[in-house]
Amino acid sequence: MTTLTDKRVSWIYKQLVLGELSIGQIAKTAGVTPRRIRQLKEYERSNGRKYCLRLIRPVKIRPDSKEEKVRVIHAYGLWKLSSTLLERILRKQNTRISHNRIQRILNEANLGVPLNKKIKRKDWVRYERKHSNSLWHTDWTLLDGLWLIAYLDDASRKIVAWGLFDSANVQNSVDVLKEAIKTHGKPKAILTGHDVQFFSNGKEGVPATPNGFQQYLAVQGIEHTLGRVNHPQTNGKIERWFGTVKQKRHLFGSMDELVHWYNEIKPHMSLNLDELETPAQAYARKMHHKVKSAKKQTVIVEVSK
């Protein structure tokens, strides 16, 4: 078999676009297997760019130099992320600085959170839905004297709606949900705890009358999924977001800026980290193909009008 080169890869992609040759014919001419041709096609589909063999040697910066510190502090000012994620971002920019050195520079500049000890990963297996809008998480938390509610998409971790109120009640829960549906469409299901804002708890085994939140979900045809009692991990994704808000809110002038940073700028470690994927990008990528097709048809109709 022939070793692939950038020139040969470019020719293969050109033939795939032209569509004049079958995969078997392209593979035979290029001197590779049909399986390799399919791998190149899948790489372009998954990553949004063509496969490239050419390696670019990362820029080496002298440790503890002024340039190194300037680059790290500048990157933190733009991204406001941990040392682990900043290492990946700088590597994408062709600059190699280890996360340990990045953390040391941030500590010296009184930025970020020091990593005092290794965190042992829990034994449970993470579960997430395959498609966007399959399941939304929601909950309330107290933030600087106000009550914050948010709806988070399970598959992408995108915040689809949020609100700050003087009180956490059923009506505010429904109002923010209506705004989320207006912007993003209806989810198939919503996961909540047994809090009174979302669920009417019965007494002595007698079911209670559904509250306004439950009634709204029933009218909209949205499945109401309840988390286990005294088991916060069930709704852990929204709790983790609340932790991010409380840790990072002092870096932003408003909640709008913070949510934009989280959705549109910050790469999420549970998504496609190699491509530094954000929740907004994952939300679009994981949307079911039927929903994407329906949106495209809607756009075509509106343009034709």
Q: What is the pLDDT of residues 155-211, one digit of tens each?
A: 999 999 999 999 999 999 999 999 999 999 999 999 998 899 999 887 765 567 899
Which sign, positive or negative, has the C-alpha torsion 53, 57, 58, 63?
A: positive
CB 9 within 8 A of CB 50: yes
299 confidence band (pLDDT: 50, 70, 90) = very low
* Higher-scoring residue by pLDDT: 209, 123: 209
Give CA–CA dist 217/128, Å, rounded. 22
What does the pLDDT read at residue 107? Answer: 87
Give CA–CA dist 262/157, Å, rounded. 9
pLDDT at 229 over 80: no
Give the Cα-Cα-Cα angle 45, 49, 51 (nearest 5 degrees).
Answer: 95
Residue range 19-77, pLDDT digits in tens: 888 888 988 888 888 888 888 888 787 767 777 765 555 566 677 788 888 888 888 88
Q: Beta strands of the chain (E only): which ranges?
A: 59-60, 95-96, 135-143, 146-153, 159-165, 189-192, 223-226
Give CA–CA dist 197/67, Å, rounded. 52
303 confidence band (pLDDT: 50, 70, 90) = very low
10 confidence band (pLDDT: 50, 70, 90) = confident
What does the pLDDT read at residue 228? Answer: 74
Give CA–CA dist 299/305, Å, rounded. 10
pTM of the model: 0.66
